[in-house]
Structures are given as structure tokens and as C-alpha cells.
């Protein structure tokens, strides 16, 4: 795999008149007559957002795609117009594509108008590190959803999964930077346009007009701004079929926003929270009773969530970056029942250099990835020790991430308003409602006797290894190769920090062949341990079989062998006050999660043979049936992202990750040949 092209912050220049200027393209960022005036006259007016009524009036959601985010002026002007319009949509989604993002401080200094400065400051406060990929930001209490898509538009726009109501084309002038105006890119933009979507730009270059017409737009010109004779506006109204797959669309007003989630672990709780936060009514069914333990990572009092580093920036590395952002967004707000600081200890995780990798090798990887320190940086043993709070014997990566109180986080998510938890209900089979009023529109959860436990139009199966049994019992799995998973049991120990001198002052998670982390205060409280006394979690074994079977002494010895080379001598026996925890990870064959809509295998078998050769996104699916399973040992870093993938799909919102990553997670992917899945499976370990 070729190494990715890094993203770097772009220095903001000024021309002789003091206008924001790009040295790279030898062009100004906006009209000399005023950036805010251009935003309103060209883009907002061109897309009908300043009309009365505006194009977005009384809609639940409205999606804007911009090519060339630049100074952010178009976004800020749109945000202000949204604030000023009483008939504004409930939620505004704005996806801005940018290859050369400015620094946060330059966004503030280049603000086009003092009236927009408070908005610019709020944007700058959340401005992400310059890393390729999608960066969702929540503004205005979550009602403004800005996704910064950082990367080359030619390769990135075809990877976006969204349906746009309005499109702003605002790259530098075609004569200065031709890339954003290529016909191939304009066709990719057209594939993302919802029927009737409006497009605006300041240029009327012949090549742009022709490219847009070829992409399915009806193009017209209007009086220009700032001395330009004309500007361009267009409507997506193709006279022929231009795409096999229609873009995401907002649900109809009569669409029922009720969901049934089976499983109340990390995966199920994350899905319930994501939907309830969008106003859904969610019923969660959990097989165990009040006093019964969960399974998998949800049993653990705490765990690590950190980004993965890979020289080729593989799929799992990209997923973990997106996963960390989703997890941080999903943390309960301060002042809630359980404060974020009690559930989550941020500040990074130390990843020791693996397999004897030399410091020079680490530096070469760091140089190739060009990741900013906010994401990952190479540290020597001294700096790593200073940050971690304990002496460490080697250097490695200080990676973005932290420690989460896993089981407490599950409980917090399940307390989200709109979520109803039903315990002690074992779902043995799924059926479809066949009432005369609503035939086949509701998924039914049935017990062993066929009695109805609950039903809803949308059903999310989040039961880890049990998902295969449930789908098979429901007649929804034609053969076991469709969803190949295995059990990966593991064990870990909670110990008082004072009983392990080498780790007594540990402040952040450290990872070698095994890992150690300090328990967040919420985890300590939930376990009934003495408040104010530091406790640690040491893990974890990787065993074979259906359940952890390694005796405690051997499990402890395994963890000690994995940690001692990094942290020094550890007790050869578990301390007297130690508590042992065990769980079973669900691991898919390619070690990636299974997230998304479940295929309709019968329809797929009966369809044209060529249909199976297409990506899973184009396959027929079981309406309203989704999976969120097979997180392996990365449940904490990926569960919230998985939930967002499902929730955004249900709501017709822009996807939080690119199409190739969505395809890599698709539950039906195992029915494809490796070449159709995008190459060989990732070889990354399932270990943290």
C-alpha cells in the first residue's frame, strides 16, 4: 500500500493591500470587495438561502457541501443566516473539503466581519489537528454539524457518503488552481447532489459550465459580485441517469423514529445513545438480569481508547482516529449524573516501541505520517516516564487517547432520555410483523416460546458472538461463512496501586505486550473501592476457546511478562486485594468490526449475478435491520463510531467516515472475494 500524502497547516499570507492571500496559488482567498459580501451575494443567494422563504425553511435537516473551505467565511455566513432565520432547519449539516487548512488562530485573524467573530472563535476552539480524513464538529449545541474533510478533493469527494441540498464551489480561480474544477470532480459532486439541489460559484469559466452540465446540472448565470460581470448558479436536474446509487436522503416526515436494540453492552448502549440524542424512542433488551454481568469489554471496569499508528496509515488506523473523536463527542456532558471527568481520563496513552523497533525507525514512520503531536508523537524514555508518572525503560509513541470507565459509560449511555432498558429478556428469534395495518414493517423480538417481547421498525443487533445464533435462528443467515467470528477470551486484574510499587504513581495508560492503566474515579466508586485510593487495571490475556480458562496465577504471570520489560519488576503473585475480571471478545475473520445494514441474502441470490460483484452498499438489505458487533479488543475506541455510522445512515445525515471505511465494516463483506473487499484483510493485532 502506498503511503498517504500528509496534510499540513497552511500559513496565511497577506497581499500588498492586506487581503488574505495564498502564496501557494498566488491568489486572494475572496473578492477584494469583501469576503462576507461575496459569501452572501454569490453562495447563499445563489443557493436560495437568503430568499423568503429560504430553501431550507421548515426542514428537519439541510446539508451543504463546500469544495474549498478556505477562511471559513461561507460557513460562518451560513451559520449566521441560520441563526437569523426563524424558519431555519432543525439541524444544519455542512461538509467542507479542504486540502490546505489554515491554523485556528488564522481563522480568527482573517474573520471577514466583526459580527462573525464570536462564531469564528467558537469554530477555532474546536478546530481539528491537520490530519487527512473527516473531522465532525458539533456547534450551536449540536444543531450545527460541521464536517471538515481534509484531503485532496479529487480523491476525497468520491469517498464522501452524503446527500447535499446545496453546493458551494469556492476553490481558487481555475487559472490558479485547476484541480477543484476538473470534470471528474464535478461529476463526483453531482453524484452527491439530492434531486433539485442548488449549486453556486463565482466563476463562469466555460470548462466549469460544461463540466457541471455533464454532471447533471442545469446551469444559468446571474449578475456577479465585486466587479465581476457574472456568477454561476445551477440546479441538479439530470436529463439522463447519472448514478447507480442515489445519495443519502432525509427520512420522510411520517418515518417512525422508534428502534429496538438487542444487547446492552458497549455496542448496544452506544447505538441507543446515538439515536436517542436525535430524538428517537429506543427500547433496549438485555438478556441478563439486574445483578448479572455483561459480556466482553462491557464487563471491565475500565479500558484504553487510543489511536493506532501504522506506517501505511491503514484502515484500522483511520478508524481509530475517527473512533476517538466519536467517543469524545459521546461522553456525557459536564453536570450530568456522572461527570465526564469521572468517566474519562484524557491526556494520551503511551505505546512502547514494538518488536524491538529502533528509535530511528519510529522517527521514519513519524516523518512519513507527519501526524501532529495532538494525534501522536515519538517520545524517548525520559519524556514518556515524565508524562506517565512512572519510570519506563523505552521510548515509543505518545498517542491520542485516554482511559474510560467502561461499565459506567455503558450505564451513562443507557440513561440518555428516550432510552428504555428492559432486563432479563432473552431474544431467541427475530420476526416481522404481519398485521393487516402494517404488514412487514416492524421487527419483532421473540422469546423461546415465540412470545413477543418488543417490536419496532428499526432493529439493531448488538449481541457480539450471539448475533450469529440469533440471525441463524431467524432464518437470516444462509450459511456460516456470511458472518465468520470467533471468541477471544481474556482476563485482567484490578489491584491497589500501593501494592505494585513500579506502577504506584501511574497517571496514564501504558502499553507494551500487555497494558496498565489507572482506574477513573467512576470505576472506583462503582466497584465499592475506598474513595481517594488509587487503583490500577492490568491486562490482558488472549486465550482460546469459548471462555477464559487460564488459572489466575498463570494469567497474572502472563501479564507480568508483558509489562515487566517496560516498567520493571512486578510482584510474582497477584496482591491479596486483587480482583480478577474476565470477558470474551468477538473477533471477525479480518479483525474489523461488522457495522451497518444486514443484507437480504434471498433477494441477493435471486437478483442478477452481477449484483454480487458490486459493493455491499448497492446490495438489497433487510429493511431496518442493522448490526454492531465484532469489535474485538477495540470496543471502547470503535463503539461510538459504529453507533454514529448507523444513526447517520438512518437519519440520512453525512456519514462520519469515508466510503471505503464503511465498506470495510459492512457486515456482508465476507461474501465478497478479497479483491472486492479492497485487498487482503488488515494484519493488525486485535490487542490494544
| CB of 165 closer than 8 Å to CB of 63 | yes
Is residue 375 situated within a structural domain?
Answer: no
pLDDT(1) > 50: no
| Nearest in space to 261 (alpha carbons), one of 418, 6, 410, 460 | 460
3-class secondary structure, 629: strand
pLDDT(662) > 90: yes
Question: What is the C-alpha R_g of the chain?
Answer: 26
Relative to beta strand 20-22, strand 13-14 is: antiparallel
Q: Which helix (H) or strand (E) is 77 found in, with range?
A: helix 73-84
Q: How far apart are CA 207 and CA 215, in angstroms?
A: 12
Domain match, 471 and 616 both: yes
Is residue 388 situated within a structural domain?
Answer: no
Q: How far apart are CA 47 and CA 264, in angstroms?
A: 44
Is residue 381 situated within a structural domain?
Answer: no
| CB of 120 closer than 8 Å to CB of 108 | yes
**Separation in Å, CA 142 to CA 85, 125, 321, 347:** 17, 15, 20, 24
3-state secondary structure 231-258: EEEEEECCCCCCCCCCCCCCCCCCCCCE
Arithmetic mean of pLDDT, 156-178: 96
Q: What are phi and psi of 271, to 5 degrees?
A: -65, -40
Confidence of residue 465 (pLDDT cuts 50, 70, 90): very high
What are the tens digits of pLDDT across the range 220-255?
999 999 889 999 999 999 998 878 889 999 988 777
Show the cell assigned to 102.
489554515
- Cis amide leading into 41 (omega within 30): no
At residue 436, the pLDDT reads: 55
At residue 410, the pLDDT reads: 95
Relative to beta strand 485-496, strand 535-539 is: antiparallel
pLDDT(370) > 60: yes
Q: What is the CATH number of the domain that holds 612?
A: 3.50.50.60
Is residue 554 situated within a structural domain?
Answer: yes
Cell 509513541 belongs to 397
| CB of 317 closer than 8 Å to CB of 394 | no
Q: What is the total count of domains within the chain?
A: 3
At residue 366, the pLDDT reads: 76
Residue spans of alpha helices (H) in 176-249: 183-190, 206-214
pLDDT(112) > 90: no
Percent of the chain residues topping a pLDDT of 70:
92
What are the tens digits of pLDDT across the range 210-224?
999 999 999 999 999
Relative to beta strand 401-404, strand 13-14 is: unpaired
Domain match, 228 and 284 both: no
Is residue 546 situated within a structural domain?
Answer: yes
Domain match, 548 and 639 both: no
Is residue 636 situated within a structural domain?
Answer: yes
| CB of 167 closer than 8 Å to CB of 65 | yes
Of 208, 236, 264, the residue at which a domain comes to its end is 236
At residue 190, the pLDDT reads: 97
Range with the poorest average pLDDT among 51-60, 468-477, 639-648, 673-682: 673-682
pLDDT(415) > 60: yes
**Structural domain harbouring 177:** 13-236
Average pLDDT value over all residues in the chain: 90
Q: What are phi and psi of 488, to 5 degrees?
A: -135, 85
Domain match, 556 and 409 both: no
Confidence of residue 358 (pLDDT cuts 50, 70, 90): low
Domain match, 216 and 96 both: yes
Domain match, 660 and 527 both: no
Q: How far apart are CA 89 and CA 98, in angstroms?
A: 25
At residue 676, the pLDDT reads: 53
Who's near 596: CB < 8 A, 6+ residues apart? 616, 626, 627, 645, 646, 649, 662, 665, 666, 667
Domain match, 205 and 332 both: no
At residue 295, the pLDDT reads: 52
- CA 381, 384, 388, 394 dihedral sign is negative
Q: Which stretch, 269-273, 404-408, 476-480, has highest mean pLDDT?
A: 269-273
What are the tens digits of pLDDT across the range 378-401?
999 999 999 999 999 999 999 999
Domain match, 218 and 316 both: no
| CB of 196 closer than 8 Å to CB of 231 | no
At residue 296, the pLDDT reads: 55
Who's near 660: CB < 8 A, 6+ residues apart? 159, 315, 678
Domain match, 188 and 333 both: no
Domain match, 293 and 146 both: no
Q: What is the CATH number of the domain that holds 173?
A: 3.40.50.150
Confidence of residue 101 (pLDDT cuts 50, 70, 90): very high
Amino acid at each position: 500500500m502506498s503511503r498517504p500524502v500528509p496534510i499540513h497547516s497552511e500559513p496565511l499570507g497577506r497581499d500588498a493591500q492586506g487581503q488574505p492571500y495564498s502564496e501557494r496559488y498566488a491568489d486572494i482567498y475572496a473578492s477584494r470587495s469583501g469576503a462576507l459580501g461575496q459569501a452572501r451575494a454569490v453562495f447563499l443567494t445563489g443557493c436560495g438561502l437568503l430568499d423568503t422563504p429560504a430553501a431550507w425553511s421548515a426542514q428537519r435537516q439541510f446539508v451543504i457541501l463546500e469544495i474549498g473551505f478556505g477562511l471559513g467565511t461561507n460557513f460562518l455566513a451560513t451559520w449566521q443566516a441560520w441563526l437569523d432565520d426563524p424558519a431555519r432547519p432543525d439541524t444544519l449539516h455542512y461538509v467542507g473539503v479542504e486540502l490546505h487548512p489554515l491554523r485556528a488562530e488564522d481563522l480568527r485573524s482573517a474573520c471577514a466581519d466583526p459580527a462573525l467573530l464570536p462564531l469564528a472563535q467558537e469554530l477555532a476552539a474546536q478546530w481539528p489537528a491537520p490530519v487527512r480524513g473527516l473531522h465532525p464538529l458539533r456547534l450551536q449545541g449540536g444543531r450545527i454539524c460541521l464536517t471538515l474533510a481534509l484531503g485532496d478533493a479529487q480523491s476525497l469527494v468520491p469517498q464522501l457518503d452524503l446527500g447535499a441540498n446545496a453546493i458551494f464551489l469556492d476553490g481558487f480561480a481555475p487559472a490558479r488552481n485547476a484541480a477543484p474544477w476538473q470534470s471528474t470532480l464535478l461529476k463526483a459532486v453531482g453524484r452527491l447532489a439530492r434531486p433539485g439541489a442548488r449549486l453556486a460559484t463565482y466563476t463562469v469559466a466555460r470548462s466549469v459550465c460544461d463540466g457541471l452540465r455533464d454532471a447533471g446540472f442545469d446551469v444559468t448565470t446571474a449578475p456577479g459580485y465585486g466587479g465581476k460581470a457574472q456568477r454561476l448558479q445551477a440546479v441538479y436536474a439530470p436529463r439522463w441517469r447519472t448514478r447507480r446509487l442515489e445519495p443519502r436522503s432525509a427520512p420522510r416526515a411520517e418515518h417512525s423514529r422508534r428502534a429496538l436494540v438487542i444487547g446492552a453492552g458497549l455496542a448496544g448502549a452506544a447505538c441507543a445513545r446515538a439515536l436517542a440524542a436525535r430524538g428517537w424512542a429506543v427500547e433496549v433488551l438485555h438478556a441478563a438480569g439486574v445483578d448479572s454481568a455483561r459480556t466482553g469489554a462491557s464487563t471491565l471496569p475500565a479500558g484504553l481508547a487510543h489511536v493506532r499508528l501504522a506506517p501505511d496509515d491503514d484502515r484500522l488506523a483511520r478508524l481509530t482516529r475517527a473512533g476517538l473523536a466519536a467517543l469524545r463527542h459521546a461522553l456525557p456532558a459536564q453536570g450530568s449524573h456522572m461527570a465526564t471527568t469521572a468517566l474519562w481520563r484524557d491526556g494520551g496513552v503511551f505505546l512502547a516501541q514494538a518488536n524491538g523497533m529502533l528509535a530511528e525507525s519510529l522517527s521514519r514512520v513519524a516523518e512519513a505520517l507527519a501526524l501532529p503531536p495532538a494525534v501522536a508523537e515519538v517520545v524517548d524514555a525520559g519524556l514518556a516516564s515524565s508524562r506517565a508518572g512512572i519510570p519506563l525503560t523505552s521510548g515509543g509513541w505518545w498517542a491520542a487517547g485516554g482511559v474510560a470507565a467502561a461499565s459506567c459509560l455503558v450505564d451513562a449511555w443507557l440513561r440518555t432520555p428516550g432510552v428504555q432498558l428492559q432486563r432479563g429478556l432473552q431474544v431467541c428469534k427475530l420476526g416481522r410483523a404481519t398485521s393487516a395495518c402494517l404488514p412487514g414493517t416492524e421487527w419483532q423480538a421473540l422469546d423461546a416460546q415465540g412470545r413477543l417481547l418488543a417490536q419496532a421498525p428499526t432493529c439493531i443487533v448488538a449481541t457480539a458472538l450471539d448475533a450469529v445464533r440469533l440471525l441463524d435462528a431467524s432464518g437470516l443467515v444462509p450459511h456460516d461463512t456470511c458472518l465468520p467470528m470467533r471468541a477471544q477470551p481474556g482476563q485482567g486484574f484490578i489491584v491497589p496501586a500501593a501494592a505494585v510499587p513500579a506502577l504506584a504513581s501511574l497517571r496514564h495508560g501504558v502499553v507494551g505486550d500487555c497494558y496498565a492503566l489507572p482506574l477513573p474515579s467512576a470505576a472506583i466508586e462503582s466497584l465499592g473501592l475506598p474513595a481517594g485510593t488509587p487503583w490500577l487495571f492490568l491486562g490482558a490475556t488472549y486465550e482460546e476457546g469459548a471462555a477464559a480458562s487460564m488459572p489466575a496465577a498463570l494469567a497474572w504471570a502472563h501479564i507480568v511478562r508483558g509489562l515487566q520489560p517496560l516498567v520493571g519488576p512486578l510482584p510474582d503473585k497477584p496482591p491479596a486485594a486483587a480482583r480478577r475480571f474476565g470477558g470474551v471478545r468477538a473477533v471477525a475473520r479480518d479483525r474489523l468490526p461488522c457495522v451497518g445494514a444486514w443484507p437480504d441474502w434471498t433477494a441477493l441470490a435471486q437478483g442478477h449475478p452481477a449484483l454480487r460483484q458490486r459493493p455491499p452498499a448497492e446490495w438489497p438489505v433487510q429493511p431496518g435491520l442493522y448490526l454492531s458487533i465484532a469489535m474485538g479488543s477495540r470496543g471502547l475506541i470503535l463503539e461510538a463510531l459504529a453507533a454514529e455510522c448507523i444513526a447517520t445512515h438512518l437519519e440520512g445525515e453525512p456519514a462520519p467516515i469515508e466510503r471505503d471505511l464503511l465498506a470495510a465494516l459492512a457486515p456482508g463483506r465476507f461474501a465478497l472475494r478479497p479483491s472486492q473487499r479492497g485487498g487482503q484483510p488488515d494484519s493488525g493485532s486485535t490487542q490494544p
